[in-house]
Structure 1
Amino acid sequence: MAMISLFLIFLLHAVTVVTADLRPGFYRSTCPDAESIVRAVMKRALIREPRSVASVMRFQFHDCFVNGCDASMLLDDTPTMLGEKLALSNINSLRSYEVIDEVKEELEKTCPGVVSCADIIIMAARDAVALTGGPDWEVRLGRLDSLNASQEDSNNIMPSPRANASALIDLFKRFNLSIKDLVALSGSHSIGQARCFSIMFRLYNQSGSGKPDPTIEPCFRQKLNKLCPLNVDQNITGDLDATPRLFDNQYFKDLVAGRGFLNSDQTLFTFPYTRGYVQLYSTDQSLFFKDFVNGMLKLGELQSGRPGEVRKNCRVVNGQSDDLMLE
């Protein structure tokens, strides 16, 4: 933990909030249909597989926390670079990359070389929320795509499902995100699913006790035991809240009732500094929506200031695909 903390302190010098180049309507003159194209593809993805839009929404978190919002997480591995897709928090967890590929393909047909993959992630995350019943908001755009990725950085920064509220507060604080931001943004788990892998320790060996997490409501624990028995394929998934296809405040109601799926979620209610916000959002959905939007805007402003480009293919830096074909 000490080593991770030192890394995060170092990282704070590399990732800052830079808003001068980000603004609403950034593509109004260069690609006026950009946002409508992204939303149309997200609508199709929602119809094909409802879970996919929740998966895409998570990209903003996994991208922006690791060296800023620069689409580094979309880069495939190369012979000289280990990308972030196989990082500990991403492997067998992040999915639906093909939705971003589809968005990029549509945008390249309409306005080639204009809309960055980093901005696509931001727009798609917003659309995932809006299309499932949550708030809609005006996004600030104008990001560039990174020229590299770092599996090591992702491993060091992204929290695990075992993380508790105290560790999450520490992480968010280093990015100038408040306790309120942490709880509101955790509401992203209002939609989607997570794997049995992420909760096996809660069910059978919490804190090395050989017993289940005592904070899990008994009937809910029985349900989870049936979903995730000891011999289960740990890639089996369960709903993150009782309304996994609807973006609402049910997630917080579930936490109050002891029905949080992930340890990192349930501790938001058991930890004194976060408990009040959980209770507040469980009774005031409008306030949750307002604070969630503010948190997403703040998260989307994390930038590294490193050189970048607008990738033609979100999986590779420009020119790289041609180089690999020649090898």
Structure 2
Amino acid sequence: MATATSGCQLQALLLMALAAAVLTSTASGTLQYNFYSSSCPKAEEAVRNATVKIISGDRTMGAAIVRLFFHDCFGCDASILLDQSNSNPQPEKLAIPLRGYDAMNTIKAAVEAVCPGVVSCADVLAFAARDSVMVSGGFTFSMPGGRRDSLVSDMSNIFGSLPTPNMQVQQLVSSFGAKGLTSDDLVALSGAHSFGQTHCSFVTPRLYPTVDPTLNATYAGKLRSLCPQNSGGGKVLNNNNVTDPNVLSNQYYRNLGTGEVLFTSDQTLTSDAGTAKMVLDNAASPVMWMAKFAGAMVKMGGIQVLTGTQGEVRKVCGATNSGS
């Protein structure tokens, strides 16, 4: 449990991080804190209650919801949530296997029960990701609202846009930079790899035919036993070497120091002097990392949003209101 001093320190750092994020995300007035204070005062409470209930029933869902937010927010418009349809024959969700769609439908239904047709799926996902951090990480922050939902979803938008597990540090910096995120944001958000699940197929390139020399030898042996060569790669693994795979924490940065992380895109953060220093700082101060993570989540939540009269507010997250 945090001491009173660390709690005050965390609050101050969160305020500083979020103040910086506000300049990035809401200076143009496109997103606003307490956006639904008049139109749906209980919106965020409904999201929080539904999210807490879902994660209480299945602790793995915290990481799943945060990951879904990340994948949507390289363009935060709920396009990742659209199902296949005549007007969206190749939606984004076909490009990569993700969990959490049923959870989002449940959370959206809880909000619709309070305020029908008012709160966008994009905002529901952003609030749910924030609340997943609260449940799984033990800290929280404010998330602005005002996003609208996309009418289209195209899986081709995923390819070449999202960072991949085999990227090197400069590729990651460029990928995040193209979306207005800094190297500090990159390293802070990578801490989400402290919890959640992945598949052997994303890890076996570091294990076969020879072990990646940056991978801890003992950990590599464990991974080889879990992911035999030519096993098909579909087996689910817990992210990295952690005490509890359902807890979001700065343990990830300590794992980087010992070579006990799953992806090339993780370990490469120690290969550059600038990002390596950020890794050390985040490993040394969980409070500082929380503040940076919160600020980066808010910034990410402002990427390429639809606002005003753009898009629509979907009644259900898997389909446009026209149903086409």
Aligned to 2:47: 38
Shift of 1:231: 3.9
Are 2:244 and 1:239 aligned?
Answer: no
Query: If the length of structure 2 is used for normalisation, what is the TM-score?
Result: 0.87
Shift of 1:304: 4.8
1:98 counterpart (96, 99, 102): 102
- Decide which moves more: 17-26 or 185-194: 17-26
Counterparts of 1:200 and 1:39 in 2: how far apart (Å)?
37
Are 2:129 and 1:130 aligned?
Answer: no
Unaligned runs of 5+ in 2: 1-23
Counterparts of 2:235 and 2:54 in 1: how far apart (Å)?
21
Larger RCO (alpha carbons 8 Å, 6+ apart): 2
1:47 counterpart (39, 53, 56): 56
SS of residue paired to 1:194: strand
Aligned to 1:319: 322
Are 2:218 and 1:219 aligned?
Answer: yes
Shift of 1:270: 2.6
Aligned pair count? 295
Shift of 1:271: 3.0
Change (3 A) 1:238 1:271: farther
Q: Can you list the C-alpha shifts for 1:176-230, whole angstroms capped at 9, x where unaligned?
A: 21111100011111221111110110110xxxxx311101111111111111111
AA partner of residue 268 (structure 1): L
Does the CA contact (< 8 Å) of 2:148 and 2:305 recur in 1? no
Query: If the length of structure 1 is used for normalisation, what is the TM-score?
Result: 0.86
Shift of 1:99: 0.4
Equivalences for residues 167-178 of structure 1 within 5 A = 167-178=171-182
Aligned to 2:21: none
Identity %: 37
2:34 counterpart (3, 25, 29): 25
Q: Can you list the C-alpha shifts for 1:80-137, whole angstroms capped at 9, x where unaligned?
A: 42110011xx2x3x11210000011111111100010000111011111110134200
Aligned to 1:79: 86
Aligned to 2:6: none
Unaligned runs of 5+ in 1: 1-15, 205-209
Are 2:263 and 1:262 aligned?
Answer: yes
Counterparts of 2:31 and 2:163 in 1: how far apart (Å)?
27
Shift of 1:148: 0.5
Does the CA contact (< 8 Å) of 1:240 and 1:251 recur in 2? no
Does the CA contact (< 8 Å) of 1:134 and 1:289 recur in 2? no
